[in-house]
Structure 1
Amino acid sequence: MIKKWKSLLVLMCLIWTIFGVFTFYNVGYQYIGKSYFDSENFQHEIDNFTAELGPLVINVPNAEELKNKIEITQTEIEDHRNYYGTLGQQIDNIKAQYEQRIQEAIDANATELKTKLVSERDNKIKDITANFEDDEHVRKKILAEKEALIDKYIKAAKGESKNFGKNYDYWSYELTNTETGKTYRAGDVTESSAYKIKYTDRKPLYAWNISENLRDIFYNTETYVNVDDLYETAEYTGVIAISKKAAMSEDVIQGGYQQFQQFQRNQYTHYFIWLTSILMAVFVWRGRKDLLQIVTSMKEKDLLTKYKIDVQIILLLITSLMYFISAQVVFESIEYNSVYNYNYVRFILDIGFKIVVLMVIGSAFFVQLIWLYTRVNTLKKLEENVKSSYLWSLGDSLTDLFINRSIALHSIVMLAAAFFGGGSLVATMIGGGAFPVLVLGICMFIGFPAMIVFLSRMGYLNRIMKDTKDMAEGRLNRDVKVKGKSPLSGHAENLNHLREGVRTSMHEQAKSERLKTELITNVSHDLRTPLTSIITYTDLLKKPNITEEERKQYIHILDKKSERLKVLIEDLFEVSKMASGNIELHRSRVDLTQLIQQAVGEHKEDLTQSQLDLRMTMPHDPIFAYVDGQKWWRLIDNLIVNVLKYALEGTRVYVTFKRTADGDAEFTVKNVAKYEISEDAEELFERFKRADASRHTEGSGLGLAIAQSIVDLHGARMSIDVDGDLFKVIVRIPAV
């Protein structure tokens, strides 16, 4: 039992020893073997005194000297000139400012006030106009503003100089300017000194002429003054000192000295206990084997052995962080509460409780450290534990992560932001950071948003997976939601494209089946109709009792239907050849203007008979293109024939030809349809499609299909636009 207590005592001494190293690293070096005049607080006091001594006492600048250093650039002149806008804008603004006031003076018959306001307005407008006409006028105004700032600084420096003399009256100095030889004195530096600094030619005192505390005078204004141009440094030799008499009587020094002594006593007491702990630990170190045996026996029963090694390391790091935080808390209590807390009972209870917490957390840390050591104290154990860890398994998965570099980059950024918080805090504690809580707060502002982004992305991923499942089950009526520009949103866009492709494919397949059925039906109908007539009238001709007149009539009908059947078959063969590309074009440079006029002109009489009013708009100059003239004639002819068959009687037909801004030749035919066009206009390009769904007209339904094939063979473009009953065909081909 005694051996176990010895082991526990060694552990407690070890914890307190680590804490002693921690406190010495933080502030102990500032107090051990040092005097108050060596402390950081007093050195800060010296820096403040010497920094303000120059610009307020021994190196006070002259207003005229500073004004002579002012430089005004052309950029400053332009900025000042256009600060409130252009000349016109500034004049309009001034007029607007005075307009109402002048009108009020006129309404009140205040002639004198009106004259004064008008004069003020005109003077301002004159001044602004001069700004835009004369650089020198603007330069003088800027110079006056900067000189006013310098005067303001000089006045403030004089007032600050009086306060400086009162605040630092316990300092004595005798300093000589190495350039001018002028000497400045205050107090008696020959008195017995508590603190003294000597400045020599090799190590002079550098005194600035501009006070750092008064720089804001030049910054908190619209007028820009380059303070760096005003700076001037002078070198001084001599002595600055604090006499023993002043040190004994000055409250500032006495207060700082007494506080320093209190801190120093606390540190000596603490390090005495620390050294005692080290000696005690060395004295009872014979119980170290018992300590290892106790900890090892605890480890065998501990739940941590059931987890992989990386989990144990994480818990060890968390415990170490808690250990250093608790050490910081104990340190601050010893450092400050012993000076400012006059309730010693409360102070002892507070310190005692925090030390107990420190010991408990420290014990947990060292016990886990020993457990970890016994787990990996051989190379074989280390290798086995590492290969079975979660981190090793994660490393195997990283190869798959980098298949998509964008996803890998986003993942690494989010993970780095999440772990930056803990890592920064640990680094701050180990490095002796003065503001760990502030660092923790800053890290939370990085880690917490990263966590929110990560959870949002995971939620978005779940939504994409659900929508993908819906698509796989055939539900294609809803898009996958695209959010932001992340790789997941890119994946969602790809899924939408895939869904749209599937829908389009299904639609095209259904449309193809429908058109295929319609094509067979229409071809059968259009071929059967004349064929039926031929068969019927052939049978009639076989009758012996028909008259000669009837025979001629039947033969005429047979001839007409045969011709009709021939045209249908030829058109069908032609459109099939064109669609398959099995046709040769003979291109040449053709004047399309003349070609269109001739092709349309052949149908003017037919248009008149059909009670259609032709309105042609043609360019005065020829427009050329490389086309097969015969095929292009057939194209124009088909479009005009289409108008003759399907245009409403008594309406106008517009034929327009022009050169577009893109350099294309554009041919347009517009007419009012006699039949309602309720189908998809693009389907009219299909074979045997007619605007006349009842198929009462004599058209073959191949006119537009042939026209489209001709356009495609030439690499041109053809489109149909239907607006109610208005039917418009547009053909475009690159002009020469």
Structure 2
Amino acid sequence: MDTKWKNKIKIISWLVLFAFGVSGVISALINENDYYQRSYFKTSQFQVELDNLTKYIHAFEISYQSKEEMKEAITVSEDEIENQRYQYGNLTDQIRDIELQYQSRIDEAKANKNQNIADIYIRERDQKIEEISKNFESDENIKKSIIEEKEENIEEYFKELEIYRDEYENYQEAFVYYLKNIETGQIYTNLSTKDRKLVDQNINEENMYYIQSYPTKKQGYLEMKEEPVVNGYEDFIELPRTNSNALYEGKIGVSKDAPHTNRIMLDYHSYDNQRIVFWIYTIAGIMALGASVIIGKRIGIIPKIAPSEWQSKYNRIPFDAALLLQVIFVITSIALIDNVSYIYFNIDLDDILINLLFLTLFIGLTMIQAIYLYTRIKMMPNEKGVWQNTIIGRVLKGIRNFFVSLVNTFRNVFLNRRVGTQVFLILTIVFLFGILTALIFIDEDFLAFYIPAILIIGVPLFILIIKRTGYFNQILSNAAALAKGEFKPDLTIIGKSVFAKLAGDINQMKYGVKTSQNAQAKSERLKTELITNVSHDLRTPLTSIITYSELLKNPELSEDERNAYIEIIDRKSKRLKVLIDDLFEASKMASGAIELTKAKVDIVQLLQQSLAEYNETMEDSQVQFRVSNPDTPVYAYVDGQKLWRVFDNIIGNIIKYSLDNTRAYIQVQEENHQVRITFKNISKYELSEDIDELFERFKRGDESRHTDGSGLGLAIAKSIIDLHEGTLDIDVDGDLFKVTVILGLLDN
């Protein structure tokens, strides 16, 4: 426990030392222009006082005019007369405005049966109308009004000017001046004499703390800018003007006879003490800051005042809030530093300790947050969503989402323009009726509009809304039943409204659900057949393999019998392999997990190669093949190996399932930038009327399943053609079986 308290005391002591050092250094930077000067008269503060003196001399002596002189100098221009006359419009507009202004007052007085008040308002109205009319008859009335207004402004100007006279007299107590206009020779001085020799005897180093002679080497003659002491009257009265380019020579001094209570004298006498305090404070601050840096490095102050385990908690603060907080701490610390330096210079020891403690607190908080903020900024490139989690980001995101939602809402409202327009018109009519209802309470005359509008528009609209609501509820009830799988009678389609269209869509949807249910039942049936067929086709060769494997275990078997059994096992194994390979390939095709290796392929040549594979089989079969194709190559951008598999499956099916002593026709044609390959044969088995079933897995023409096919040939072939973005169609006409493959040709 003692160790913890010692560490806390060390940290607090270091912060006090550091805060004092920072305040001393920053105070030096803030006040350097004043306290680096050896004399008060070289400071910027005194220069401001000197400029104020010349400004007051110009205002109260050089360009000064009495109130009466300014009033006598008043002039009125034609533009002023025109502006005054038409500032509220032409004569008709002004009379109408006055009448409207008084009419409500007169009507109210008459309504209260107070004729005397009404007569007063009438007289006031008529008097104003008469005055306005005179303004349009003659310029004299307007000119008189403008002069009176300017005289009032002059009175106000002099009232405010006299407020500054006390300050001017305060300057005259401290300063002695003798200034002469080098062009006119006019002299301005607060001395009792204008004799230059006597002036030099009064304004000298023996009698003055400070003397400024004009002209000087740096700025030459004195140039007094014509700057008004009282602002805001330039547009209302004509202020006295002099030659603003006039130059003056002479002297300005600070008298040693000036009262010590004078503000300028107080600043002069306190400057030396403040300068001494400034340098002591600045040097002590620099030493304290240096010592705090050295001590801080030795004791490792940064990890102590800003433990790393608090970083994660600090990072929860939104970044912009943390940045704003840091700015507030910095500004507050600077303000406290300025306040502490002011207290030091005025040697107010009672407040020094309190302000130093507050300064230490805020500088400590500023440092702690600066450390965490710096670490956080370094981590920002590796963090995601920093700006989105800021307060500004959240607000902007909320505003964006609001407007997006609003736009989407309006877009959805007018998704069906007819519905959106109808709703908008209905709401507008309801809104207008609401306004009209409110106006009835203000003025009963609106009943003349309200009752016909209710009968002509309101009542029919109400009946229409009731009917549409009832129809809409019927649609909702039917839709709810459909969602539960119940089929109610078809909705009655009334008219061509959007509700009628919705009712028709729900009726159509009901038939679609029925069709989907039938398709689902068919799919379940085919799935059951698939499982049955797969089990049968895989179990048959597997049973043979197991049976003959058991027979091979008999040691008394002859060599011929053993070889025969091995041959059967080999044949059944290959049969099983074909079934499994076809099953896997069909699954890959259906899932789309197969990639095509496309190249430029001659379709005619590929078909001939496929037929060549079956030359011996075709010769042994009772089927005669008739092939017709173009004499020139037909190129397409396809996967040759996969397309060969398509041809192989179809040709194999023709050989297996064609009726003996019949012909099979294969034809290749080019048309509409496509190649059409047609396969036709007569089936030896009765074909199903449902052509789509022939594409199902393990679906074969021989329902008894005596052939060696896997039943996956057409399914695989169709999947390959689909991957090539082509089509494979089957047509059945009695026993005639026709397969058509269409592929896109290669661009020349």
The two structures share one fold, judged by TM-score above 0.5: no
Decide which structure has the larger Cα Rg and report it.
Answer: 2
TM-score (norm. length: structure 1): 0.38
TM-score (norm. length: structure 2): 0.38
